[in-house]
Amino acid sequence: MSSHVDGNALAGPFSEVFRTDMTTAVCCCGGCGDTTTLATEMVYGTDALAHGSIVRCRSCDDVLITLVETPDRLVVRFPGIATLSVDRDTPPA
Amino acid sequence: MTDWKVGTVTDTRTETPTGRSITISVDGWPGNLAGQHLDLRLTAPDGYQAVRSYSIASVGDATSVQLAVDRFPTGEVSPYLVDEVLPGDQLEVKGPLGRWFVWTPEDTRPIQLIAGGSGIVPLIAMARAHAMAGSTTPFRLLYSVRTPEDRFFADDLAALESETFHVDYVYTRSTPADWPTPPGRVTREVIEAVTIPASDSPGVFVCGPTGFVEAVARSLVDLGHQPQSVKTERFGG
Ligand SMILES: [Zn+2]
């Protein structure tokens, strides 16, 4: 069984892309419609955070987000997300 | 966007047979809330970089942060931090990060903290914030470790105990000599016996290895806690 951590771990890489803390963003899965804080989704592969991670829906296991990091680039894909919404009052990451 | 900053190790302390705490002074560190983490980046002489997330044990406006690291024998980063890093060494950090697994004194619910192993790190930050703020809201910590020697921050936790902060230990492999119960896991029955009941509507923060966190979170919901009042942080393993 491969182990996972929580979406909490995404705060660092996402701080390079978004202005606010995305771990408190509300995420709706395009596959099953489950809606929850990004911090509570499942993140695989953070042992190799410098290389890449996969975020899966906590409810249906669909791939929501992929992140690939190299020294020069951070590549983010959102294959399974219907909506990602943020509170405009969230302080900067 | 949060930039990488250079930190200098100012202190290291052996906490357990496999873990230690490290204090890092970071120029320009803006302070942090209780429960936040930082990303730590190590660069090898050949340019290879490794990044790991660590919860912060300290809290407040200081420009230094305290981390605690447990050695994963197969890890790339933790053996260096546990066995090799010395005061004066420089590390790159980015943070503070994350605003979800966080406690602030404005939260006046009773608070139950549940830690497995080095999962104590963000939770002791919350206990420290509670003490620093003079908060009178009831705090309780259930701390599961293999043996008495495996407790991180044992003295600090003892010093924090007060009318409004109580610590309960659960030993899973071996107990102190005069301990009233045999070693065992944090079962639903243990949680029911020594934590704030669901009827008091506490906020609950759980941090530890994935299996521990999932078992505890399930037991809490079985015991009537609202899933949204239970916040978890897993660190793999
Ligand atoms: Zn889903």
Tell me the pTM.
0.94
The per-residue pLDDT for range A12-40, each reduced to its tens digit, is: 989 989 989 999 999 999 999 999 999 99
Domains annotated for chain B, with CATH where assigned, are 5-97 (2.40.30.10), 111-235 (3.40.50.80)
Ligand 1 centre distance from Cα of residue A32 (Å): 4
How many whole angstroms separate alpha carbon B10 and alpha carbon A63?
Answer: 41
How many whole angstroms separate alpha carbon B232 and alpha carbon A8?
Answer: 9
A77 CB within 8 Å of a chain B CB: no
Closest to A81 (Cα-Cα) out of B210, A2, B100, A60: A60
Alpha carbon of B192: minimum distance to chain A alpha carbons (Å): 24
How many whole angstroms separate alpha carbon B34 and alpha carbon B130?
Answer: 9
Ligand 1 centre distance from Cα of residue A36 (Å): 10
Closest to A9 (Cα-Cα) out of B210, B9, B144, B127: B210
The per-residue pLDDT for range A33-91, each reduced to its tens digit, is: 999 999 999 999 855 445 789 999 999 999 999 999 877 889 999 999 999 999 988 77
Helix or strand (DSSP H, E) at B231: strand B230-234
Closest to B223 (Cα-Cα) out of B130, B107, B142, B121: B142
Q: What is the mean predicted confidence (pLDDT) over B43-50?
A: 83
Optimal mutation site among A1, A6, A59, interface B, most CBs of chain B within 10 A? A6
Alpha carbon of B236: minimum distance to chain A alpha carbons (Å): 5
Helix or strand (DSSP H, E) at B191: helix B188-194
How many C-beta atoms lie closer than 10 Å to residue B213's C-beta?
A: 23
Contact B100 A5 (CB under 8 A): no
For B208, name the nearest residue in chain A, comparing CA atoms only. A5
Instruction: Show me where the domains of chain A are located.
Output: 5-85
Q: Are B18 and B82 in contact (CB under 8 A)?
A: yes
Sign of torsion over alpha carbons B160, B164, B165, B170? positive
Residue among A3, A4, A12 whose CB faces B97 most closely: A12
**The complex's ipTM?**
0.88
The per-residue pLDDT for range B185-226, each reduced to its tens digit, is: 999 999 999 999 999 999 999 999 999 999 999 999 999 999
